Structure 1
Amino acid sequence: MTGTTVSDKAMTCGQALVKLLEAYQVDTVFGIPGVHTLELYRGLPGRNIRHVLSRHEQGAGFMADGYARVTGKPGVCFIITGPGLTNIATPMGQAYADSVPMLVITSVNETHTLGKGWGRLHETQNQRAISEPLTEFSATAYQADDIPDLIARAFAVFRSARPRPVHIEIPLDVLATPVGRDWTTEVRVASERPVPTQGAIAAAANLLKAAQRPVIVAGGGAVDAAEAVTELVEQSGATFFSTVAGKGILPDTHPNNAGAILCTEPAWDYVESADVMLAIGTELADTDMWRDKLPFNGKLIRVDIDPGKMNDLYPAAVAIVSDAKAAAMALSQQLDGNSTAEPVADAVSQLRRRVRESQPPLQQKHLAVLDVLRRCLPADAVVATDMTQIAYTGNYSFPVDQVRSWLHPTGYGTLGYGMPAGLGAKIGAPDRPCVVLAGDGGFLYTLQELATATEELDSCFVVLLWNNDSLGQIRDDMVALDIPPIGVSPTNPDYIKLAQGFGCRAVQPQSLAALETDLKEALNHPGVTLIEMHESAVP
């Protein structure tokens, strides 16, 4: 497309980029304005794009992550050169590990200075050397006309491949350059997602038809295929497990749904007896299993959009490189209820009961709190969790009936994720109640984003702070390994006063009954509430 000529004063490259993002239906950007991103911010007034001011670039990245997980759209960030990029590198790593679409647009020093080491403001010798391991691709726009191609490439990743972060850096001189032609409406439709071959579907269907004890494991790559996967479970008679990212693909009450319990010993025993496993949209990573590898010795069918997953720790007997929904629909049509699988509803019910009853005392405390939380929350609520022991228990025990409702930093395992990710989720889905579940250690990483929350939100947003006055998991790991606990019992601040200082409601229930009352009140409060629940308050 040649576009039309515009006058030099009409639009800088930064302005044009913002207009192009609007054409790609971007409605929100997260970031902090700086001297190196002024031309991007010049482009925001008059556009239908909401800017959310984070208080740290790490917060902006986690907000973009939460927004993307709930909406399915890429979270977009505007970030300055150098320290802005290094600050957002951790959220980029988290999004990469969990296959979350994120577009990070940064500035970089003037084109003629790159790599020179002249000591320019915010200078980093090679920004892309930082971002490349954390992204699907990282690229530099050396001229304004590079931008539409790079944005189209980014959205092709988000829409037709395994969604992961993309980093595009733009030199300051390019950002300020007047565009020579109007490419701001050059939206390119991404290529379609891959669909399965008939031969692969037939081979997989034959294995499932003959299976006596089939299991299906679905992950984050299948969240947009929930209806098709449910149909496939019912056609095959398989026991269903989800990963943490796949919670809600089947309603928790479905009789074949064992839940996200693959990190528990009873589930390991169950999987070991399976003769066929269909893994759909999941890496089968050890962060979901809490062990290096599942004890599975049967035939494995893998459905994944990423061909690199077909021969890793779990080589596939049948490999189907495909969009999850297309593959699940095709398999269901082939099966058409023609399965020899043994009935599983009773076995699944017993399995779930075994998992709950086998929990040690600390996890029983967690379950008591999580039960209260589940009773109080409506079915469409979002729970954004941090790396904290109570969230680990919730990963396999908290019931979820719809996808994009339980957010957890599974792969990278980043402390400080929960608060800003929950805020991004709330911004992306403002009509859904949102609760953040964080521990005292992780909460301190990003609590400054309470300022953003009180500034941006006028409906209920709840932070449930689980306080055990320690880095509990690390402390317990040290004790288990005979290492004297060091650095795991920090002195905590007064969280109630801190929250009030940010303008939040803040309460400190002393019992489970009080917690239930406080949660109900918080869910009816048009703003931010911090609920600090101390471990000692739970019997």
Structure 2
Amino acid sequence: MHNSSLTGGQALVRLLANYGVDTVFGIPGVHTLELYRGLPGSGIRHVLTRHEQGAGFMADGYARVSGKPGVCFVITGPGVTNAATAIGQAYADSIPMLVISSVNHTASLGKGWGCLHETQDQRAMTAPITAFSAVALSAEDLPGLIARAYAVFDSERPRPVHISVPLDVLAAPVARDWSNEVVRRPGRGVPASSVLDQAAGKLAGARRPMIIAGGGALAAGQELQQLSTRLAAPLFTSVAGKGLLPPDAPLNAGSSLCVEPGWQLIAEADVILAVGTEMADTDFWRERLQLNGELLRVDIDPRKFNDFYPCAVALQGDARQTVAALLERLPQTSRDAGAAMGAVASLRQAVKASHGPLQAIHQAILDRVAAELPANAFISTDMTQLAYTGNYVYASRAPRSWLHPTGYGTLGYGLPAGIGGMFATDDRPGLVLVGDGGFLYTAQELATAVEELERPLVVLLWNNDALGQIRDDMLGLDIEPIGVLPRNPDFIGLARAFGCSVAQPHSLDDLQRELRSGFARNGVTLIELKHACAR
């Protein structure tokens, strides 16, 4: 093909393919036609979603399961505002996402002519919820902007990037073919030797060291396991870090820092190493965690070192390389772990013993899930009470296996993120945990799931015919409950209309059988579990 016959839109799609993009989520519109001209023959799979919010959540789920940036194509104006909630969620949880949208013709920008899909300043709408948002005013800007986006994904705190491309830039032939100009950054590096020495000295001298690992540490599982063993240090994770240690590892304290027994144990630490975790109140379910020991923090984002939890030693760098560098500086012999293992065993018992009646029901359901979930499956969850309990009681078998919209906390995340996660690998089945309230935010994405998926995706719909958490919160504050008892549709009929297999178990034994059947079926199964049936 002669270079000049390549349009900006076509060259951009080729460039993305050269960066390793294999899937994009989106809905074609009159303002993205020139992007779609580039898709045939590019090797990139396009997944048609039913709403741009679904496209954003699918890109997020894809990124969480694959570790690669999720990509979506959306139109100017309403496409961008529809996707904004998903962009905000990815920003809150440090998920790499590339949002490519159109924007009106360059000549019209900011002039208020009333063009189709026009917004006063599209970049300003996504700037606060992205690492950066930029407008490509010429096709020549695009390779630099994509390189800058991948610098964020590869070398900085990964967060969404939004690039708007004017209609005329998408359509015009490029002056030269830059679609092979891939620029990858060298990665994240390690802290200075003196800082590593200081941190290793504090860890070596600690009597009761403990570790907290988050979503920034997902690549450091092996190193963290060695460090935990060598220091005899209980290892806690945030929800984003679930699965970093095997469930049966005797020092695995799990994601229990959001409940009383976890708070009590971390308060006993004399040195705490926090690796790749924001340490936000949404991680701990309380305004401030009681940390009585010295805090050492490993993070790629320098703004984390003096925020809510100022640290004694700030280690700015890549989680895996930094933990490996600490291991090199620590004594090779492992300490006696008896006391630490005992503390973790007591913690696990205390968590189960502290369940209220509702959490006990959740535990019973999650036990059935654990019994039937295929070894390599992942779970995508919504903002629902079943998932809030699962966040700290469900033991993930590996990282990238429990997706939850932690920081932003948006309803409607679970189903589309689960669908997106299915495209991240060729072989992993998925389970979605969603409540009746959140399901109706993005239920239309069942159409995408049924159309596209040929592997088992099981949607477990926990139907308590209520916005249960909000009702409970109102009652707890002595507010008369209003707007928390919605009239729900016939969910089984709805799922059947989309083409799902359906089930409505009437006991926990029934549920376990239906889960087994669902995971044996290539396609989408919706299981509606009524609150009363789980008792």
TM-score by length of 1: 0.98
What per-residue deviation string (whole Å, max 9, x for no partner) do you get for residues 169-206 of structure 1? 00001110100101000001213212121111111111
How many Å apart are 1:47 and its aligned residue?
Answer: 1.1
Counterpart AA for 2:92: A
Residue 167 (structure 1) aligns with: 162
Name which of 343, 350, 362 aligns with 1:347: 343
Give the alignment of 1:48-87 within 5 angstroms: 48-87=43-82
Give the alignment of 1:232-381 within 5 angstroms: 232-337=227-332, 343-381=339-377
Q: Is 2:509 aligned against 1:505?
A: no
Residue 433 (structure 1) aligns with: 429
Counterpart AA for 2:481: P
Residue 520 (structure 2) aligns with: 524
Residue 534 (structure 2) aligns with: 538
Q: Tell me the distance in 1 between the aligned counterparts of 2:54 and 2:13.
A: 21
How many Å apart are 1:340 and its aligned residue?
Answer: 6.2
Give the alignment of 1:423-462 within 5 angstroms: 423-462=419-458
Residue 102 (structure 1) aligns with: 97
Q: Tell me the distance in 1 between the aligned counterparts of 2:35 and 2:444.
A: 24
Greater mean deviation of Cα atoms: 265-274 or 319-328: 265-274
Consecutive unaligned residues of structure 2, counting only runs of 5 or more, are none
Residue 476 (structure 1) aligns with: 472
Q: Tell me the distance in 1 between the aligned counterparts of 2:392 and 2:52.
A: 31
Q: Is residue 297–residue 314 contact of structure 2 (8 Å, CA) maintained in 1?
A: yes
Q: Is residue 230–residue 335 contact of structure 2 (8 Å, CA) maintained in 1?
A: no
CA RMSD of superposed structures (Å): 1.1
Name which of 9, 12, 20 aligns with 1:17: 12
What per-residue deviation string (whole Å, max 9, x for no partner) do you get for residues 446-497 of structure 1? 0000000000001111000000000000000000000000000000000000
- Report SS of the residue matched to 1:437: strand
Greater mean deviation of Cα atoms: 205-214 or 60-69: 205-214
Q: Is residue 236–residue 337 contact of structure 1 (8 Å, CA) maintained in 2?
A: no
How many Å apart are 1:13 and its aligned residue?
Answer: 0.4
- Report SS of the residue matched to 2:427: coil
- Report SS of the residue matched to 1:344: helix
Q: Tell me the distance in 1 between the aligned counterparts of 2:226 and 2:398.
A: 15
What per-residue deviation string (whole Å, max 9, x for no partner) do you get for residues 321-377 of structure 1? 010001110111111345767631111001111011110000000000000000101
Residue 218 (structure 1) aligns with: 213
Q: Tell me the distance in 2 between the aligned counterparts of 1:216 and 1:83.
A: 44
Q: Is 2:406 aligned against 1:410?
A: yes
Q: Tell me the distance in 2 between the aligned counterparts of 1:341 and 1:173.
A: 67
Counterpart AA for 2:156: A
Q: Tell me the distance in 2 between the aligned counterparts of 1:480 and 1:217.
A: 31
Consecutive unaligned residues of structure 1, counting only runs of 5 or more, are none
Q: Tell me the distance in 1 between the aligned counterparts of 2:41 and 2:313.
A: 52
Residue 33 (structure 1) aligns with: 28
Counterpart AA for 1:208: L
Q: Is residue 54–residue 449 contact of structure 1 (8 Å, CA) maintained in 2?
A: yes
How many Å apart are 1:93 and its aligned residue?
Answer: 0.3
- Report SS of the residue matched to 1:21: helix
Residue 199 (structure 1) aligns with: 194
What per-residue deviation string (whole Å, max 9, x for no partner) do you get for residues 145-172 of structure 1? 0000000000110011110000000000
Q: Tell me the distance in 1 between the aligned counterparts of 2:68 and 2:265.
A: 36
Q: Tell me the distance in 2 between the aligned counterparts of 1:72 and 1:370.
A: 26
What per-residue deviation string (whole Å, max 9, x for no partner) do you get for residues 222-256 of structure 1? 00111111111111111110000000111111100
Q: Is residue 9–residue 171 contact of structure 2 (8 Å, CA) maintained in 1?
A: yes
Residue 118 (structure 1) aligns with: 113
Give the alignment of 1:140-159 within 5 angstroms: 140-159=135-154
Q: Is residue 438–residue 464 contact of structure 1 (8 Å, CA) maintained in 2?
A: yes
Q: Is residue 208–residue 339 contact of structure 1 (8 Å, CA) maintained in 2?
A: no
Q: Is residue 259–residue 396 contact of structure 1 (8 Å, CA) maintained in 2?
A: yes
Q: Is residue 99–residue 164 contact of structure 1 (8 Å, CA) maintained in 2?
A: yes
Q: Is residue 6–residue 180 contact of structure 1 (8 Å, CA) maintained in 2?
A: no
Q: Is residue 245–residue 398 contact of structure 2 (8 Å, CA) maintained in 1?
A: yes
Counterpart AA for 1:460: P
